[in-house]
Amino acid sequence: MLIGLDIGGTKIEGVIVAPNTAQVVHRLRVDTPKTNYMAFLVAVKEVIATLLEKEAVQSIGVGCCGSINRATGKMQGANILYLNGQDFLGDLRASYAIPVALTNDANCLAISEFKSGAAKEATNSCLAVIVGTGCGGGVVIHGDIVDGQHGLGGEIGHNPLPGFDSRIDGPAVKCYCGSTNCNESFVSGTGFERTWAIKHAPLSAKEIFAAYAGGDAEAIQHVEYYADCLARVLGTIVNIIDPEVIVLGGGVSNQDVIYPLVTQKLAEHTFSNSITTPIRKALHGDSSGVLGAAYLPVMKGLVEC
Ligand SMILES: [Zn+2]
């Protein structure tokens, strides 16, 4: 059995997964402490302790916001701010005799979908992209998640939008990360609403997609524009790693209309005009974080099952 933890700003979710069936056999959730790192560490260990009482477990995998700086071993870029600068993985490894591994939540989406989800027929590679409140990604190559030298593997949300043209894409937009015209400002759900509001009265993404379904010409134009942005983003990644499958997660990924549009436009933004890469909706939904985390030590070869 494998433990998977999904740690976010509001909740810590822990599960026990049966490795061969991908079935979650135990699950619990607690609130993420708001106070400090020590309270956080206590809460995480209590979740693990509760799970360890239920089954014999081979490993612990953690999916968490932020990443580990390989040079220092410490957390960076986490939106649970007290985590940054802490040796979270080291503190966990010091507490347990079984292997512990940690990666970020977008990587967990890639792992879970590669192992048992929408990319499970892939034998070597997949790209997973979250188009939700923000935009992040994860890359599997040779059956292993690419964390990268600085923990940045798959972080496509903060590359500049390929082919940015203010006549098409609107005025340049500054990102909280310090860069300009980040992909996230265009292809996240927030970006979908932001680019709509450049020319129209503000609407939620759901309202715009509802207008699209109702045949509204402006909404149709905007959804096609969005699909083109996403195809531009994905096309640059295809030209580098050419994955077997692309999986989309997050709020916008639930809009089925985008798949044929992005698939059609992908060929326009890649080096080959005969691109056949399937683009699919993530299968595991909200469980991708815990499942990907649970599989992480297996993918890293820390345990066999
Ligand atoms: Zn950015």
Question: Looking at the domain assignment, is residue 278 inside a domain?
Answer: yes
User: Residue 97 C-alpha to ligand 1 middle, in angstroms?
Assistant: 39
pLDDT at 287: 86
DSSP notation for 171-224: S--B-TTS-BSBTHHHHSHHHHHHHHHHHS----HHHHHHHHHTT-HHHHHHHH
Same domain, yes or no: 43 and 167:
no
CA pair distance 198, 171, nearest whole angstrom: 9
- In the chain, which stretches have pLDDT less than 70? none
User: Residue 245 C-alpha to ligand 1 middle, in angstroms?
Assistant: 25
User: Residue 157 C-alpha to ligand 1 middle, in angstroms?
Assistant: 7
Same domain, yes or no: 270 and 137:
yes
Same domain, yes or no: 54 and 184:
no
Same domain, yes or no: 157 and 277:
yes
Could you tell me the end-to-end alpha-carbon distance of the chain, in angstroms, rounded to an integer?
Answer: 9
User: Residue 182 C-alpha to ligand 1 middle, in angstroms?
Assistant: 5
CB within 8 A of 34, min separation 6: which ones? Answer: none
CB 210 within 8 A of CB 186: no
User: Residue 152 C-alpha to ligand 1 middle, in angstroms?
Assistant: 13
User: Residue 69 C-alpha to ligand 1 middle, in angstroms?
Assistant: 19
Q: 3-state class of 286 per DSSP?
A: helix
pLDDT at 71: 86
pLDDT at 40: 97
Question: Looking at the domain assignment, is residue 116 inside a domain?
Answer: no
Tokens standing for residue 237: 């990644």
Model-level pTM?
0.91
- CATH classification of the domain holding 172: 3.30.420.40
The domain in which residue 63 lies consists of 2-109+286-299
User: Residue 78 C-alpha to ligand 1 middle, in angstroms?
Assistant: 14
* Helical segments of the chain, H only: 37-52, 88-93, 105-116, 166-169, 184-187, 189-199, 205-213, 217-241, 258-266, 288-299
